[in-house]
Chain A
């Protein structure tokens, strides 16, 4: 790039109304895109969120902070002095068989604090596991990294709810570990409950996000940074402490904050633990909101406490998101000169150290894939409980559940859920592909007033808790009218009349960032000169977009939209809040219902897991392990 172009790129946007008018006249296509997409996000993201915030402090005609202070004055919501006697590994009962039963559950700090404690501890545990794993993978020499790097991605592929089912099948009170291992050989049972169990399940799922971010930070660091420290006499440990870790800070920070946001807004895990009778799991913010939406059965008025809790979740998430953005912008710092000759320095290991490393990875992969293994086993067991003998269990594995959901006459029910999942997700992904390509294009190629606002608008949904958006939609659209009808379908945004339209919009908004980021990344790697060359020979803006830009970044668009597709298929919060009729239910909506056959649920979950695995595998092949596209940071 010539100096002039650098000057052009680096220029600041000043407010100049006349300039905007000229721009609009000169480039109507870009401006239509910017204004259209901004409006879409304002109507379906910003306004609903404002509704929630107002709902939290405005009640029956006047503003008041009463609802907020009520939360902090009620022990149900806020109980920092809760008894910690349950906090420890505690023997509570002895069964007739002579088995000692231990509970690990943690105290109950009330709805508000439980969620905060879960979020913080999940982040800490994920950070320790993720950082250590990334360090071993990036900086330590041992064999088998290729296989490990694949296995470590498995936790990412876990549909909601069924992860809990799988976890219970393995580590639950009557799970495989308790029955076939602990009780049989050690005469004990360990029952995980409450916030400890939720932290454990979340950490084993989310540590992967930190691992991917830190790993990519470490691999992108110029090796000469470490070499020059070594050259000045720093030992291996000192280099790690003074150079490697500080330079990986952006990855560490952004990974951690993403995990914190996801842990705070997680609804799937509490619902499953609550479903299996865990009372503390019911006392989390997301569970409370999802179960206390309306003031009465026939009302569309949202419970104010839910709005207050939603407001807090929203504020935490947005603050976290802004921090991520700040750190990601620092990321450039560590990537000074690429494409130099030289290898990444690795710590060599002796036999003893290698044994420790393999034990660590064996344990972490076993524990992080417990839900997956449990889910697969559960989907192949017809009976409600496990047989007494392990060999008996292995003998009774069959595909009956899959036959039921796909082939038998009962399949009608599941068929409809699978069909709905496909329809909602594919339509949403189709809309995402079009809008995100356009948005990514203007964000990377145009300079306009409010560019950073536009940028934030299209990427922030990743941080917005789904339950909060769900409440906002209910507040905003629950009295919407039917605009017109097409055949049997009423065209309306009112979720009580016909939820699919609003649902597809919510999927589009929530999973938009994954594609827009992939498109943006693709455009950053593609020289703008290629577009200018086309304009120069006479191509119009839309021709450039269709014939030059889209073909050049097709891989990024496909990869990004596959990630969006995976996440729309497993979206929980707005799905549960907006769908209120079996007719419109999809797989996720069906999975929360534990009253039916757990085996069949597990089979549907396993099917969803397969779809996700295929999509993510394809993405991975297309983008070659790019952590930012996988995790959306």
Chain B
């Protein structure tokens, strides 16, 4: 069931900057939807529009079937977590969390019960008498989470809530946010520029660039099946090669790289001979142990880096293009490879993504 619908939202700032362009989005009940994109892409503008802090220049916002476009922010009953926590320094933890309940005129007894319950959930039991400055960054963001969810919001809005925390805490807290949201069945709109975070926390991801939604899908779809060069390069680690279409076959096409090798791809839609295309492969799609004889690429090992679970090799092709491959190898194999060695790599045709004018060729 659709919980929140954005219908053709446009947002201009007064200097005529068109921050959000024709954004339409359906967010389902209890879904975690992430708005992902580089900084300045408009994702926070969309979130602040949902919260009611920005008034859209056109379009409407529908919550549970009701148009709330004109509803003031304080009447929307949406919880929000801010990047810099935004805890009120003059109030104790319990007063920060209880503030929204007080506004809703909840009796003190129920309020205390609710506060200690939510504090337990965010692992901050018996911290309620402290002031925000007495807590660490991670603890402060847990308080912010508690403050936002304790009011039982219709939608929980998260504005890059983990950006100010270190890596370990980020991983820990994003799991907690997801757990709590799922346990309470809250619908979440989550903003981040961190693709790993987005892949880990989301049910669906909307990738945004220059105020426009480029692609919406599950993390798996977005990762494996990007619809454009922008999404493909923004998500995951890729090798980029340039080439020209030399042949169109029944099942695909043959593309000549600028380094001279000819590669088979399994796509040909809208391609004609002579088209200039961009080829993308994930690092883990390049193999140094050719099992077959198609799509062979000759090169020379430039760098060898031990990464723990795998080694990463940077291979230079004939024209100077770099190709990076992640290989899981054992110690003996590792010792046989040296920087400067000539090697042959291969890419399976089905793992070669082809883009013409930035659009994915199917």
Contact = CB atoms under 8 A, between A and B. Distances in A.
A339 interface: no
Contact of B40 (A4, A14, A26): A4
Chain A interface size, as a band, is: 20 to 34
B75 A8 contact: no
A66 interface: no
Interface stretch (A280-288, A340-348, A538-546): A538-546
A333 B39 CA distance: 26
Contacts of A3: 39-40
A11 B151 contact: no
B168 interface: no
Contacts of A4: 13, 19, 40, 42, 44-45, 48
A539 B15 contact: no
A537 B103 contact: yes
Given A3-B40, A11-B15, A527 B86 contact: yes
A7 B86 contact: no
Interface in B42-88: 42, 44-45, 48, 51-55, 72-75, 77-80, 82-84, 86-88
B74 A536 contact: yes
Contacts of A533: 80, 82, 86-88, 144, 147
A10 interface: yes
B291 interface: no
B86 A535 contact: no
Given A538-B74, A539-B103, A529 B90 contact: no
A534 B17 CA distance: 28
B99 interface: yes
A532 interface: yes
Contact of A536 (B54, B55, B80): B80
A485 interface: no
Contacts of A2: 39-40, 44, 83, 160
Nearest to B99: A537
Main SS at interface, chain A: helix
Interface string B170-192: 00000000000000000000000
A542 to B, nearest CB: 11
Residue of A14, A533, A547 contacting most chain B CB atoms (<10 Å): A533
A547 to B, nearest CB: 8
A13 B73 CA distance: 23
A2 B84 CA distance: 11
B73 A536 contact: yes
Nearest to A23: B55
Contact of B17 (A7, A447, A536): A7
B26 to A, nearest CB: 23
B320 interface: no
Contact of B73 (A11, A530, A535, A552): A535
A12 interface: yes
Contacts of A13: 14
Contact of B80 (A26, A530, A532): A532
B89 interface: yes
Contacts of A10: 15
Contacts of B19: 4, 7
Interface in A497-544: 527, 529-530, 532-541, 543
Given A4-B45, A26-B72, A538 B100 contact: yes
B84 A529 contact: yes
B104 interface: yes
B14 A539 contact: no
Residue of A10, A537, A541 contacting most chain B CB atoms (<10 Å): A537
A537 B15 contact: no
Interface residues of B, number: 42
Interface string B81-114: 0111011111000000001100110000000000
B82 A11 contact: no
A527 B84 contact: yes
B95 to A, nearest CB: 10
Contacts of A236: none
Contacts of B83: 2
A530 B13 contact: no
A532 B90 contact: no
B15 A536 contact: no
B73 A548 contact: no
A209 to B, nearest CB: 33
Nearest to A548: B88
A551 interface: yes
Residue of B17, B42, B51, B75 contacting most chain A CB atoms (<10 Å): B17
A8 B44 CA distance: 12
Interface string B335-362: 0000000000000000000000000000
B147 A537 contact: yes
A2 B82 CA distance: 11
A161 B89 CA distance: 45
A558 to B, nearest CB: 14
Given A2-B39, A4-B44, A527-B84, A535 B15 contact: no
A538 B75 contact: yes
Given A7-B19, A530-B88, A552-B88, A536 B51 contact: yes
Contacts of B99: 534, 537, 539, 547
Nearest to A2: B44
A543 B100 CA distance: 11
A14 B13 CA distance: 12
Contacts of B88: 530, 533-534, 548, 552
Residue of B53, B78, B144, B157 contacting most chain A CB atoms (<10 Å): B53
Interface string A546-568: 01100110000000000000000
Given A3-B40, A4-B45, A537 B14 contact: no
Residue of A26, A540, A547 contacting most chain B CB atoms (<10 Å): A547
A550 to B, nearest CB: 10
Nearest to A534: B99
Contacts of B52: 535
A25 to B, nearest CB: 9
A486 to B, nearest CB: 38
Given A2-B44, A26-B72, A532-B82, A537 B100 contact: yes
Contacts of A538: 74-75, 77, 100, 103-104, 151
Interface string A1-39: 011110110111110000000000010000000000000
Interface in B139-158: 144, 147-148, 151, 157
Contact of B90 (A7, A8, A543, A551): A551
Nearest to A10: B15
B91 to A, nearest CB: 8
A621 to B, nearest CB: 19
Contacts of B55: 26
A3 B40 CA distance: 5
Nearest to B90: A551
Given A4-B40, A552-B89, A12 B14 contact: yes
B74 A539 contact: yes
Given A12-B14, A527-B86, A532-B51, 17 more contacts: A4-B19, A4-B44, A8-B13, A8-B14, A10-B15, A11-B15, A532-B53, A532-B86, A533-B86, A533-B144, A536-B78, A536-B148, A538-B77, A538-B151, A539-B103, A552-B89, A552-B90
Interface of A: 2-5, 7-8, 10-14, 26, 447, 527, 529-530, 532-541, 543, 547-548, 551-552
6 contacts: A11-B14, A12-B14, A12-B15, A447-B14, A536-B78, A536-B79
Q: Which 3 pairs across A and B sit closest by C-beta, in order of nearness?
A: A537-B100, A11-B14, A3-B40
